Amino acid sequence: MLKLYNDLSNRKETFQPLRAGTVRMYVCGMTVYDLCHLGHARVMVVFDVVYRYLQASGYEVSYIRNITDIDDKIINRANEKGVPFSELTEEFIHAMHQDADALGVLRPTDEPKATQHMEEILAMITRLIENGHAYTADNGDVYYDVRSFSDYGKLSGKSVEDLRAGARVEPGDAKRDPLDFALWKGAKPDEPAWDSPWGRGRPGWHIECSAMSTKALGDSFDIHGGGADLTFPHHENEIAQSEGATGHPFVKYWMHNGFVRINDEKMSKSLGNFFTVREILEHYRAEEVRYFILTSHYRSPLNYDTEHLDNARAALTRFYTAMRGIPEAPAAGGENYVSRFRDAMDDDFNTPEALAVLFDLAREINRLKDNDVSAAASLAAVLRELGGMLGILRDDPEDYLRGGTQAGDDTLSGEKIEAMIQARIDARTEKNWAEADRIRDDLQAAGIILEDGPQGTTWRRG
């Protein structure tokens, strides 16, 4: 039985969806003004695994991951580049999809955009005003009245009094309380704007997610996810808005993945340790990046360094080597491994423990390969099936082992390597051991590892 850690209750709970057999899940997606970085990759991979595993557990899953396509950062970047904001966002939505596809991230059920939900945003703001949770300021802005919502702080555990003591109203703000936040911003020169009952303007960031999630999944749904940095104020504000507008509990289970650190330091552009997904993929395969993300529990910090990526490459090499040269067969046997894998995943999606089970399974496949190929083939299919729940081991073993770090970086083609191996075989047949050793050394220097066995010589890239 699946148990997950609920950030709303701060404890692990048995998962019971609001509607039997179905799961409705919303995850805060990207604000599309730049390329995806490693933090975005973690969010996408973490909740892709949740999506895959819920489906594999028999649930019908509606998975919504929004796209924020209007906010201050988007407007500023579009102005810097001298392009319409919609042109900028379409460029980076396309880039996001390319990166997600490379990482093996399944497309969500839907990816709503904020700009396509102005009707729902305006309707929710209107209800908040009618319910006494929002007010219109003299400058045309509309603010949420935090004092009106007695449960404010229930997700983050923050005290309203403490927050207020440390806050201040910025010059020019028309809000009544420093904790109040904007639902609608009056139009400014040279900014995109939409008509509203309060004058032309655009929505605040927080209201966008409340409007999109409730439109897609209803007033109450099962899981809301995102990065830990969104817990406060974004998700706290979503609760206040949604429950203030509908009068119903917003989300049953809140999940947040941990922060990404680079060599044990916080990732930030100012520190010069900020990596986009594409920069990392210049040196490592996408599957290696995905595997690396799964080696830490989703709620724990993820520390990026090249050693961890190298370890991910070595681990995948072990899995693909175990499956190499084995005929395809239906998945059968391995009940103990399947049970242990599911126990790990049912324990709050414990992917490190699930990967440890896969290592044990690969070890058993290697033990069986030489004397019971049929049993090994059945277990290899189990390994691939379980790996598929994590979004790994999707490649052909030969393609992976011979494929190089990434496309375009190979110094030796497969044909050249095969020719050198044949030359080494010829040298050994002629008992020219020095030449055979020289060829092997040349291949090793090029990162090519030879493996001599009963069936001949195979090779892989190191």
Q: Binding site: what residues are annotated? A: 28, 209, 234, 238, 269
Annotated binding site for ATP: 269
Residues with Cβ within 8 Å of residue 363, at least 6 apart in sequence: 322
Residues with Cβ within 8 Å of residue 307, at least 6 apart in sequence: none
Annotated binding site for Zn(2+): 28, 209, 234, 238
Q: Can you tell me whether residue 320 is helix, strand or coil?
A: helix
Distance CA 380, CA 334 (A): 10
Give the chain's end-to-end CA distance (angstroms, integer): 40
Residues with Cβ within 8 Å of residue 462, at least 6 apart in sequence: 444, 447, 448, 449
Distance CA 444, CA 448 (A): 5
Strand partners, 6: 11
Q: What angle do the packed helices 38-56 and 286-294 form, to 10 degrees?
A: 70
Residues with Cβ within 8 Å of residue 210, at least 6 apart in sequence: 124, 238, 241, 242, 245
Q: Which of the 8 DSSP states describes residue 230?
A: G
Tokens encoding 447:
């990162």
Cis peptide bond N-terminal to 454, omega within 30: no
Q: Can you tell me whether residue 404 is helix, strand or coil?
A: coil
Q: How many CA atoms lie within 13 A of 120 on its CB side?
A: 21
Q: Can you tell me whether residue 144 is helix, strand or coil?
A: strand
Query: Look-up: residue for tokens 């489906």?
Result: 55
Phi first, then psi, for residue 205 (nearest 5°) are -65, -45
Helix, strand, coil share (%) of the chain residues, nearest 5: 50, 15, 35
Number of neighbouring beta carbons within 10 Å of residue 252: 19
CB 213 within 8 A of CB 183: no
CB 322 within 8 A of CB 365: yes
Distance CA 377, CA 37 (A): 38
